[in-house]
Amino acid sequence: MAHTKMETERKYEAPPTGDTSWLAELTGVGGIASVQEEGTDELDAVYYDTEDLRLAGASVTLRRRTGGSDAGWHLKLPGSGDSREEIQAPLSDAIPDPLRDLALSRTRGAELRPVVRIRSTRGTRHLVDSDGALLAELTVDRVRAEPSSVTTTCAEWTEMEVELAEDADPSLLDVVDKTLSKSGIGRAAGPSKLARALEETGVGAPRLPDMRTEAVTPGSAGEQFLTYVDEQVRALVDLDPAVRRDLPDAVHKMRVTCRRLRSTLRSYRSVLAREVTDPIREELKWLGGELGAARDHEVLMDRLGSRIDALPPELILGPVDARLQVWNVARTVKARERTLDALHSPRYLALLESLTLLTEQPPLRRKAASKPRKMMAKAVLKEYERLSVRMTHALELSPGTERDVALHQARKAAKKTRYATEPARASLGNPAKRLGKRVKRVQKVLGDHQDSVVARDALRELAVAAHTAGEGGFTWGLLYGHEQATAAGRERELPGAWADASKPKLRKKLAD
């Protein structure tokens, strides 16, 4: 079974040969009481990647390592700053399926094969505090790298690494860094052993994700919009492993990313050719829908659970919690299966390929070379006008089912307007940010209203099931009434929120 840990480390050039005086300088800084020798290990790692080094290009590594205390398969995913997430699986001959799946958004289904072998003689020292607790691990590696293909090109070097212990203060790395620098030991030029091995053995450098085959005019609307698209595509790819592991809020974030991409490709269709982006938008709609089952149920369960928890015990009549849990389990399993089926499908891999091609070879239209300010403002204002039409229509209707549907459509338009302001902020600045903030409030009011509509449908379903089983329906009816009151409150709040978002001066500043 795979398990995960976060590693936070910094790499350094080799310390001076034969000189260990720098070790003494570490004692007494950052709470380090002593430096303890831990012996030497022989490590042998084979790194796997696609033929065009897609993992390395995404700062991801997959290796099979023997020797040392953590022999096995290691998949390392990029994190923030000096941190990376390492997912480990037991030693085996073939790549474990869980790790292969977690790398799928980067490989896009391409075959993984050995690309380079790195053998290291590792000397380890522990940096410990006055109680003997581990603060960090310092290792010096004598490295020999050789490509997996038939060749005589090899590379050798020595490097050092300082890895923070779990739960240790991250500021310790800064203290150690400063101390090593005073001793003449600088940071390593390369980001990893693998990157250096690929370069020095002649395997080749990975293609970086922002290398485009078609020139984009600097400072243009096309450049500004594509920068935003790049960020969203990377977010989608990065979220894939988290969704597969069912990490908190991962499905929600991935679904929102799908919506952002789909919406902005529509709002800024004057930048990119529609014959390319329209099919991608359809596939993003499909993926968002597959993710939506899990996310919508998650939101609904949180809402119903909190409503029940808030009731006084004397108002909970019958097996309310038990019935809710039975109802939840069946739907959770089904929604989870639907999500994983989508992420394993050829259709999903084809979407990832299309998004990669879109960012690397963008189908630019003529207007993409124009200045961004005017074009971005026009796109935002067009989405606002659509929102205004839907809001006016919804607010004119009497409360009831027709109005509920109209308010839900207005909510969708509010999201599109807010998303349109995001890539525009680089050129439109605070006016775009302010409009987005006001529209977000409208979206939030409409969202709570729609969640209430969905919750009432679920409560009625639960009440019918309880009645059929001979259970009382008092509590379900009480909760239904609470949701009716919530919806009515949101409808009273909506005109004020819309008045703030629809002030003419917000739009005038966009066009100035």
Residue 214 falls inside a structural domain: no
321 shares its domain with 468: yes
- List of residues 6+ apart from 199 with CB closer than 8 A: 190, 205
Q: Please return the burial class of 245, using the count of CB atoms within 10 Å of its CB with bins 0-12, 13-18 and 19+.
A: middle
Of the residues 169, 200, 231, which one is the last residue of a structural domain?
200
Q: Report the residue count for the chain.
A: 512
Question: Does residue 58 carry a pLDDT above 70?
Answer: yes
Q: What are the pLDDT digits (tens) for 392-445?
A: 999 999 999 999 999 999 999 999 999 999 999 999 999 999 999 999 999 999
* 445/489 Cα distance (integer angstroms): 9
The answer to whether 335 and 327 have CB atoms below 8 angstroms apart is no
Q: What is the mean pLDDT of the chain?
A: 93
Question: Does residue 512 carry a pLDDT above 80?
Answer: no
Domain residue limits at 127: 3-200
The answer to whether 11 and 188 have CB atoms below 8 angstroms apart is yes
**CATH code for the domain in which residue 299 is found:** 1.40.20.10
Residue 480 falls inside a structural domain: yes
Question: Does residue 89 carry a pLDDT above 60?
Answer: yes
Residue 213 falls inside a structural domain: no
173 shares its domain with 235: no
Of the residues 200, 232, 251, which one is the last residue of a structural domain?
200
Residue 282 falls inside a structural domain: yes
**How remote is the C-alpha of 246 from its chain's centroid?**
12
162 shares its domain with 246: no
326 shares its domain with 475: yes
187 shares its domain with 270: no
461 shares its domain with 422: yes
295 shares its domain with 184: no
134 shares its domain with 250: no
Question: Does residue 294 carry a pLDDT above 90?
Answer: no
Question: Does residue 74 carry a pLDDT above 60?
Answer: yes
307 shares its domain with 185: no
Residue 429 falls inside a structural domain: yes
**Residue with the larger pLDDT of the pair 210 and 508:** 508
The answer to whether 119 and 65 have CB atoms below 8 angstroms apart is no
| pLDDT for res 150 | 65
Question: Does residue 510 carry a pLDDT above 90?
Answer: no
**CATH code for the domain in which residue 89 is found:** 2.40.320.10
287 shares its domain with 188: no
Q: What are the pLDDT digits (tens) for 431-466?
A: 999 999 999 999 999 999 999 999 999 999 999 999
* 44/64 Cα distance (integer angstroms): 8
Q: Structurally, how many domains does the chain consist of?
A: 2
Q: In this structure, which amino acid lies at residue 433?
A: K
The answer to whether 179 and 165 have CB atoms below 8 angstroms apart is no
Percent of the chain with pLDDT over 70: 97
Residue 208 falls inside a structural domain: no
pTM above 0.85, yes or no: yes
The predicted model gives 209-238 an average pLDDT of 85
Residue 42 falls inside a structural domain: yes
Task: Count CB neighbours of 47 within 10 A.
Answer: 25
Q: What are the pLDDT digits (tens) for 171-194?
A: 999 999 999 999 899 999 877 899
193 shares its domain with 244: no
The stretches of 344-429 forming alpha helices (DSSP H) are: 346-360, 372-396, 401-428
90 shares its domain with 235: no
* 512/510 Cα distance (integer angstroms): 6
Q: In 3D, which of 199, 200, 222 has the Cα closest to residue 270? A: 222
Residue 132 falls inside a structural domain: yes
